[in-house]
């Protein structure tokens, strides 16, 4: 199958940049993905970064600069479509650019759009109207799907792309468990690893024999490990959550 499609992706994503966009760029029908982002990220085969100059401050300034830069890039390169991760502001930027050139837009929605931004009464109508205006929308689970169906998104434009676990790689071994409780996820404010640590500290006070483990990485790694060191000063180190990555 020939590689023909050229796509514009408007994202932030941070440490999820490669896991989310590398599969898109490597698709056999995709020739190139141009990533419109606030700053360059890790190299991705068949992908290029498009970043506005750093002059100017404030969120609206950054949105305006990305909108102008993406529009100029589309005029020069002619993309086949746009994709965005989260509506605010990336989906809005992607839709504004693509609609100007009559191209389709795909929006991938994490929980943040629905469970945080859309709960603010003054943002909810704008977010839901924007989601309904996209050609296709993907969510990560049936709960999100039901929410959008109730909000008026057409079922034929809505797709569930679950974040699954590789059952061939991760499966029970039959061995006795080494840990009683675990945190598995990104060490990011969205996942609230510090709350998990506070909860485990309370568990240790109530059940001193409990063992815990933290599996993951992210921008809160140093803070998480610092809290671990602090808690080890009064806890049995062998029972305090260890951090594992990979």
Q: What is the pTM of this model?
A: 0.76
Angle ∠(216,38,104) on CA atoms, nearest 5: 95
Tell me the residue length of the chain: 246
Tell me how far apart the alpha carbons of residues 107 and 227 are, in angstroms, rounded to a whole number.
Answer: 37
Tell me how far apart the alpha carbons of residues 209 and 158 are, in angstroms, rounded to a whole number.
Answer: 47
Tell me how far apart the alpha carbons of residues 47 and 6 are, in angstroms, rounded to a whole number.
Answer: 10
Q: What is the pLDDT along the chain (246 residues), one digit of tens a residue?
A: 456 899 999 998 877 888 889 999 999 999 999 999 989 999 999 999 999 887 556 777 788 999 999 999 999 989 999 999 989 899 999 999 999 999 999 999 876 666 666 677 777 888 889 999 999 999 988 888 998 899 899 999 999 988 767 777 778 888 888 888 888 888 888 788 999 999 988 888 898 888 888 888 888 888 888 887 777 654 444 444 555 554
Peptide bond into 89 cis (omega under 30): yes
How many other C-beta atoms lie within 10 A of the C-beta of residue 17? 20
Helices 124-133 and 92-100 cross at an angle (nearest 10°) of 40
Pair type for strands 212-215 and 181-184: parallel
How many other C-beta atoms lie within 10 A of the C-beta of residue 141? 13
């Amino acid at each position: 199958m020939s590689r023909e499609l050229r796509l514009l992706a408007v994202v932030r994503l941070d440490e999820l940049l490669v896991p989310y966009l590398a599969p898109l760029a490597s698709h056999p029908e995709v020739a190139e993905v141009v990533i419109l982002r606030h700053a360059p990220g890790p190299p991705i085969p068949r992908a290029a970064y498009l970043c506005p100059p750093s002059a100017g401050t404030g969120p609206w300034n950054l949105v305006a600069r990305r909108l102008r830069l993406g529009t100029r890039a589309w005029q020069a390169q002619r993309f086949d479509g746009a994709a965005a991760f989260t509506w605010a502001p990336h989906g809005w930027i992607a839709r504004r650019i693509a609609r100007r050139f009559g191209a389709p837009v795909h929006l991938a929605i994490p929980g943040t759009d629905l469970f945080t931004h859309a709960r603010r009464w003054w943002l909810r109508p704008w977010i839901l109207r924007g989601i309904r205006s996209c050609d296709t929308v993907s969510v990560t689970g049936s709960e999100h799907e039901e929410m959008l169906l109730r909000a008026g998104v057409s079922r034929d434009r809505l797709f569930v792309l679950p974040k699954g676990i590789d059952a061939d790689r991760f499966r029970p071994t039959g061995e006795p468990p080494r840990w009683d409780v675990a945190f598995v996820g990104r060490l990011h404010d969205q996942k609230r690893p510090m709350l998990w640590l506070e909860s485990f500290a309370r568990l240790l006070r109530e059940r001193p024999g409990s063992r815990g483990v933290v599996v993951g990485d992210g921008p809160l790694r140093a803070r998480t490990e610092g809290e671990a060191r602090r808690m080890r000063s009064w806890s049995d180190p062998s029972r305090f959550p260890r951090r594992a990555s990979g």
